[in-house]
Amino acid sequence: MSNSILEGETAGFRQTESAAGNVTVVMSMQQALNRALDEVLAENPKAVIFGEDCGRLGGVFRITDGLQSKHGENRVFDTPLAESGILGMSVGLAMAGFHPIPEVQFDGFAYPAINQIVCQIARMNYRSRGTLPMPITLRVPSFGGIRAPEHHGESLEALFAHVPGLKVVSPSNPHEAYHLLKYAATRPDPVIFMEPKSRYWQKGDVDAADGGSPEGAKVQREGRHLTLVAWGAMVARCLQVAELAAEDGIDIEVLDLRWLKPIDADALVASVRKTRRAVVVHEAPLTSGLGAEVAQLITQGCFDTLKAPVERVTGFDVPYPSGDLEDEYIPNIDRILFGIQRVLEYRRG
């Protein structure tokens, strides 16, 4: 039995255990986030979770399902439909020594709370000279891909990343979601945790004991000819593209940025200096999108080795569309492949 894999069912998850004792659980991103929040509540008595329908219902995406019945109504509770109130209350709770973990039900609903996020949460520690830290982990179901109506699919990472005092992170798979959320919920700084809602039902291996470093970017696929840089839901799409490109002998590296503020410039430069070409992929509009900042960091760190200008494959400069137009807006496999082709075929004049 020394080389066998033992399989069982635990709380709805498929669990495997190797002879070395490493336990991996197959779960969806929704389940991974739920487990992370459950453990955060158990480990930190000052952690509290709240938002619209987060209590008894367990959230519109069921990320907080079962947490109220397990940890009590004082730790997990519902709020009125008022995002400015949810984030304003978070400021007061943080001042009182709690670690608030509020949820904005959809990314487009964050706009009414921009004043609280930018003028209070992001600045309070600076304004108070460190006497009033803001250990707030704001969960925001983000991006498109679920064919939702208007205001239910947005890509706000550039807006949040531009604000001094905020940290911004976006996981790409269940394993990253579990470890990044647990790490974010221990930070003394406000963290905007952007969850790719189209990936909530994606299943993958989660090794709770081995998450690697939760900081910085992570290479999800090694390659030699070109680096695809992405975050959130676009990482999975870039991995698909890399598999297709491999059929034509093109070896693509996929770098999952993970942290959008601060950006891991060292990992970014290391990857592109190896491949000498880069394409940045994101759902947000092109103009002033986060891809521009990524492209500048690549150019600054790799100017002497780049074989071609950094390409961006993004959403269009229009308001994020409702569900019936998402397929035209979100970068698809063909658009990313064309971006790769433009970079590979670039010739200096």
In a domain, 340, yes or no: yes
Q: Which structure tokens are listed for 341?
A: 């082709």
**Phi, psi angle pair for 56, to nearest 5°:** -65, -40
23 shares its domain with 63: yes
Measured CA to CA, the distance from residue 129 to residue 275 in angstroms comes to 43
Poorest-confidence range of 91-95, 152-156, 177-181?
A: 152-156
Query: Where does a domain end: 171, 206, 241?
Result: 206
In a domain, 300, yes or no: yes
160 shares its domain with 236: no
The whole-chain average pLDDT of the chain stands at: 92
In a domain, 104, yes or no: yes
Measured CA to CA, the distance from residue 311 to residue 281 in angstroms comes to 9
Query: Where does a domain end: 158, 179, 206?
Result: 206
> For residue 66, what are the contacts with CB-CB under 8 A and spacing of at least 6?
34, 38, 58
In a domain, 212, yes or no: no
Mean pLDDT of 73-95: 96
84 shares its domain with 24: yes
Q: Which structure tokens are listed for 136?
A: 């707030």
23 or 187: which leads in pLDDT = 187
In a domain, 349, yes or no: no
6 or 181: which leads in pLDDT = 181
232 shares its domain with 187: no
Helix (H) or strand (E) holding 37: helix 29-43
Mean pLDDT of 232-239: 97
In a domain, 187, yes or no: yes
* Residue 71 annotated among the catalytic residues of the structure: no
* pLDDT score of 4 more than 90: no
Measured CA to CA, the distance from residue 254 to residue 232 in angstroms comes to 12
138 shares its domain with 286: no
255 lies in which domain range?
A: 218-344
pLDDT value at position 150? 80
172 shares its domain with 263: no
> For residue 162, what are the contacts with CB-CB under 8 A and spacing of at least 6?
none
* pLDDT score of 196 more than 80: yes
107 shares its domain with 29: yes
pLDDT value at position 80? 94
Q: Which structure tokens are listed for 9?
A: 């069912």
pLDDT value at position 9? 35
* pLDDT score of 244 more than 50: yes
Identify whether 262 is preceded by a cis peptide bond (ω within 30 of 0).
yes
Is the whole-model pTM more than 0.75? yes
165 shares its domain with 229: no
Surface-to-core class of residue 70, CB atoms within 10 Å of its CB (0-12 exposed, 13-18 middle, 19+ buried):
exposed
| CB count in 10 Å sphere of residue 23 | 15
Give pLDDT tens digits for 26-58.
Answer: 999 999 999 999 999 999 999 999 999 999 999
24 shares its domain with 74: yes
pLDDT value at position 13? 57
Of the residues 71, 99, 151, 152, only one is catalytic, namely 152
pLDDT value at position 299? 96
Strand 191-196's sheet: what is its strand order? 76-78, 47-51, 99-103, 137-142, 191-196, 167-169, 259-261
In a domain, 211, yes or no: no
Confidence of residue 19 (pLDDT cuts 50, 70, 90): very low
Give pLDDT tens digits for 265-280.
Answer: 999 999 999 999 999 9
Domain at 202, CATH number: 3.40.50.970
In a domain, 10, yes or no: yes
197 shares its domain with 223: no
Confidence of residue 1 (pLDDT cuts 50, 70, 90): very low
Domain at 290, CATH number: 3.40.50.920
What contacts 24+ positions apart, CB below 8 Å, involve 74-80? 74/48, 75/41, 75/47, 75/48, 75/49, 76/41, 76/48, 76/49, 76/50, 77/48, 77/49, 77/50, 78/50, 78/51, 78/52, 78/53, 78/54, 79/50, 79/51, 79/52, 79/54, 80/52
Query: Where does a domain end: 182, 206, 230?
Result: 206
| CB count in 10 Å sphere of residue 304 | 6
281 shares its domain with 176: no
114 shares its domain with 236: no
Give pLDDT tens digits for 314-346.
Answer: 999 999 888 889 999 999 999 999 999 999 999
Q: Is the dihedral of CA 292, 294, 295, 299 positive or negative?
A: positive
Total number of domains in the chain = 2
